[in-house]
Amino acid sequence: MPSSSLLLSVLDQAPIPLGSSGGEALRNSLDLARLCDELGYHRYWLAEHHATPMLACASPEVMIGPVAAATSRMRIGSGGIMLPHYSPFKVAETFSMLAGVFPGRIDLGLGRAPGSDQRTAYALQRDRRALAPDDFPQQLSELMSYLDGTIASDHPFATLAATLPGGPATPQLWLLGSSPQSAVWAAEQGLPYMFADFISPGGGPIMQHYRSEFIPSAHHLSPVSAVAVSAICADSDEEAWRLSASWRLASMALRSGQPIAVPAVEEALRSLAERAGSADAMPAGRRLLHGAPETVRERVEAVASEYGAGEVMIVTIVHDHAARRRSYELIGRAFGLC
């Protein structure tokens, strides 16, 4: 198989197949992580979504430790921690501990989105006397200052940075995004930037703005960019498209505000024909890279070129866990990982 300089990584949203359970979905994540470690994927991130029957990934920080312990080579991290829900100091402590246990392997991907609807976001607040403030840039700066020891001496929490339990190891920070504003923050802070093409396709100009406006930092002297895509690979183009029916229906339901567990293929095909008038319907505003190995390789490389990215993170949602394993295996082989 051909080799490639493109790094391949995994975004795991812990999909819950219809008829299964969240617990089984999380055990599937451990199984998939072991496989992807063996295949040669570069990093493995756990997502954060709340209160949905579709995804079991409510607390990536809970899964990072078990996944890191079950693997030996990949970087493991969050894709991402939705910082508005949390205290920056608590996040710093948690990921300091993870980095201390698994030095050199922990990533802290950060996002601003709630990963939920507004009611769930409110339920996640400790203080419910008012809606949480929209102060993400301040949260991000505080968190970074704990981890890199640059907190101002007159800050009320200045002495806390020295108490982080996992030192001297620290996680590698990434900023996640799907909008122009996230690119601005990543550039201003000199952070690596992961763009979610699977949420907002066509973000090449946003990534270009990040690179052109990047301010070198103590963490990175030059921009580091990657793109996350939705992909399904099978032995033939036709089989990959058939398998995608589960993802297509679940995505439509999620965007309509009525999320469902990931349906079986035949049920999804029937429902798509009824709901959308066609079993071949695609969710509006979504891009799916699907096909046989060489087809997916060409499409992944095209998206990487569109973003000028040296790394592509792949999220795969199908009903059958064996098909998900097979998809990552075929993609890995197409890129010469194994």
Q: In Å, what is the CA distance from 245 to each residue of 74, 160, 248?
A: 30, 50, 5
Q: Which residues contact 257 (CB under 8 A, 6 or more apart)?
A: 117
Burial of 6 (0-12, 13-18, 19+ CB in 10 A): middle
Distance CA 272, CA 252 (A): 9
Which tokens hold the place of 106?
Answer: 């922990």
Residue 211 belongs to a domain: yes
Which domain covers residue 112, as residue numbers? 7-273+285-334
Residue 278 belongs to a domain: no
Which tokens hold the place of 16?
Answer: 């819950």
Distance CA 226, CA 180 (A): 15
Distance CA 142, CA 119 (A): 27
pTM: 0.95
Q: Please give the tally of structural domains in the chain.
A: 1
Residue 222 belongs to a domain: yes
Residue 225 belongs to a domain: yes
CATH of the domain at 16: 3.20.20.30
Which tokens hold the place of 195?
Answer: 């763009």
Residue 136 belongs to a domain: yes
Using N-to-C axis directions, what is the helix angle for 180-189 and 204-213, rounded to 10°?
20
**How would you write the pLDDT of the chain (338 residues) with one tens digit per residue?**
344 689 999 999 999 999 999 999 999 999 999 999 999 999 999 999 999 999 999 999 999 999 999 999 999 999 999 999 999 999 999 999 999 999 999 999 999 987 678 888 878 888 888 888 889 999 999 999 999 999 999 999 999 999 999 999 999 999 999 999 999 999 999 999 999 999 999 999 999 999 999 999 988 999 999 999 999 999 999 999 999 999 999 999 998 889 999 999 999 999 999 988 999 999 988 999 999 999 999 999 999 999 999 999 999 999 999 999 999 999 999 999 97
Beta strand 193-196 with 7-12 is unpaired
Residue 185 belongs to a domain: yes
Within a 13 Å sphere around the CA of 70, how many CA atoms are in the beta-carbon half? 18
Distance CA 171, CA 69 (A): 16
Residue 86 belongs to a domain: yes
